[in-house]
Every structure is written in C-alpha cells, then in structure tokens.
Amino acid sequence: MFIKKNVDKWNTYQRSKTDDPDETAERFITLVDDLSYAKTFYPNSKLTRWINGIAAGIYQSIYQNKKEKYNRIFTFWKFELPLLFKKYHRTLLFTFVIFLLFVLIGVFGSIKDESFIRGVLSDGYVDATEDNIAKGDPFGVYKSDNPFTMFVYIAMNNSFVALMMVAGGLCAGVVTLYMMWQNGLMLGCFQYMFFAKGLGLKSVMVIWVHGTLEILAFVIASTAGFIIAQGILFPGTYSRKNSFKTAVKDALKIMIILVPVFIVAAFFESYVTHLMSNTFDKENNIGLPVWGSGIILFLSLSFILWYFVLYPIRLHNKNNALQQNDFNKMTLGQHEVQ
C-alpha cells in the first residue's frame, strides 16, 4: 500500500525536474518523510535505496549552485570529473577487459601464424621495421626530422580517433567495439613482433614512454562510447530520452580530460620516444637514459591509476560520508519541527 500510494509521485520527482525553489523544497521534505518511513519498516528494500537516490539527487541539485571558495574550473577538475568517473567504474573495467582480450588475440594470432602480423600491420610497415632492426636501429620509425610537426599531427590524430570511439556509442557501441578490436589486434601484433626478435624489454622502454598514456586514454575513450550505448540500451527507471542525454553529457565531460592526456602523450612520442630510439641505435646511441624512461612510465601509469581509479573512489567515499551526515541532521531537524 505504501508503494501503491506513492510510486507515481516518486516517478514524477525522478523524471520531471523543477526549477521552482519552493517546489524543490516541498519535494525534498516529502521524500525525507517517505525515506524515514521506508528505513524504519523496510531498511533492506530496493525501494528504500531508490527513494534515497531520488532524495540525494534533489539534495545535490540544491547545493551544487552553492558559492564555493574555489573557482568553477578548479572544482570541475578536482571534484566533478573524478566523481563522474566513479559512477562508471564498472563500465571502465568491462572496457579494459575487452580491450585486453583483443590484444591477447593479436598476440595469439601472431604466434600461430606470422603472416597474421602482416595482415594486421601491413607488409610495408613490417618490412620497414624489420629493415630497421637489421640496421641496428629497431625503433627508427619514431625518428622524425621535424618533431614539432610530428607532435601536432599525433595530438590531432589521436584526439580525432578518440572522438570517433566516443561517437561510436551512438551506434549502440558497435563502432566503438570495432575500433577497439582494430587497435587491440595492432597492439598485440606490434608488441609480439619485437618480443619475437628479442627486443621485448627495449620496446617497452621506448614505445610505452608515450604508449602508457595513449593506449589507456583510448580505453577511457572507449568507455565513454559504451556509456552512451548504455544510456541508449539500458535507460533504467529514466525515460530513454533523458537517459541518452545524460549519457552523452557524461561522455563529453570524460572526453575533455582526454585532450590534455593526448597532448602530453604526443609530446612524449615526438620528443622523448625519439630520444629513447637513439638510446638503442647502435650507430647513434646518444639518447635518454633507460632510468629516465622508467620514471616516465611509472609516473604516467601512476597518474592514470590515481586520477581515474583511486582518487574517484576516495572522493566518492568521503562525499557519501559528508552527505549522509548532513542528510541525517536535516532529517532529525524535520522530525523535531513536526
């Protein structure tokens, strides 16, 4: 009877937003009452969690425009983006596992049939790489007469590819999945080619100087594409239109953080990877020390893990604790008034 009496009201509160402050306050007070009743009689029910979610949404809408001592850009990068990403950690895990599977398929295919590598990377690329290895300059492909031109091209190209991965979510994620398949196979074949030539560790120290940020950023871009697909296919309790709009908005916000990541990765590939390729060039071994490459690899991986995984979890837990404390105070105050 409790559900039957209130379910239409809850659906209205969730799906139809209001800009009227008095209406917002009335909705919040009503939800506080309903939530208190639900927590008392149905503490472990999905219904209680649903009402709590609606109330929390209104709570956030009340306080999100509160004046802060920090400027908007600072709060966006420090709080809003990490909290947004925490919301999609499961989607990130799914994307990473699928991409890793595609990479392993590329490695397995290369082990079983060497012609598989040429089919994926093209004869011209494989021949050029093997020729460089024979000359004692295995990573000569990363050398360029004009690093700045290379930097601009790589940054723009990677950003465009990432945008296509995000936009691929509009096709229910099929295009995103296909692009992951292509990039995963290429990465698997590419790495196997160097390991098979006894250059595995050297390739890691050279290629992953920029590849750590670049590859993981593509995984995150694919995650944004799957967020859009999820909003289309699985709207949940929201209307499909509202679910789609929210998913696109969240995906574009995630894309914002990837732009500076791709710029840094392009800088590493154009300048730092160029130096590392000289390190393993037998004729010109003046390049970046191996320990320098190791530091860049460590810092790049640490940044991705911290900003996209660990920090969002920490911030989410801290935010929940503060909200629950404030919510309990407001609930207690409402009961005292009654």
| Rg (the chain; Cα; Å) | 25
The pLDDT tens digits of the residues spanning 30-80 come to: 888 888 888 888 888 888 888 888 888 787 776 655 555 556 677 888 888
Cβ-proximal residues to 108 (8 Å cutoff; 6+ apart), any chain:
188
- What local confidence, expressed as pLDDT, does residue 59 receive? 77
Q: What is the DSSP string of 176-196?
A: HHHHHHHHHHHHHHHHHHHHH
Does the structure show a pLDDT above 70 at 134?
Answer: yes
Between 1-15, 47-61, 314-328, the lowest mean confidence (pLDDT) is in 314-328
SS3 143: coil
Split at pLDDT 50, 70, 90, the class of 216 is: very high
| Beta strand residue intervals within 143-232, DSSP E | none
For residues 125-134, give the mean pLDDT.
85
Handedness of CA 252, 257, 258, 263 (dihedral sign): positive
244, 231 in Cβ contact below 8 A? yes
pLDDT tens digits for range 181-204: 999 999 999 999 989 888 888 888
Q: What is the DSSP string of 286-321?
A: -S--HHHHHHHHHHHHHHHHIIIIIHHHHHHHHHHH
Give the start-end residues of each E strand in 7-92.
none
Closest by CA to 161, choosing from 185, 180, 184, is 180
- Give the pLDDT of residue 333: 54
pLDDT of amino acid 69: 53
Question: Which of 177, 162, 330 lies closest to 252 in space, CA to CA?
Answer: 162
pLDDT band at 337 (very low <50, low <70, confident <90, very high): very low
What is the model's pLDDT at position 207? 85
Domain ranges for the chain: 2-66, 84-318
Contacts of 75 (CB under 8 A, 6+ apart): 68
What percentage of the chain carries pLDDT values higher than 90? Answer: 41
How many Cα atoms are found within 13 Å in the side-chain-facing hemisphere of 242? 8
What is the rounded CA–CA span in Å between residue 184 and residue 177? 10
171: its two tokens: 């096709």
| CA pair distance 289, 269, nearest whole angstrom | 16
Summarize pLDDT for 138-149 with one digit per residue, the tens: 776 666 667 888
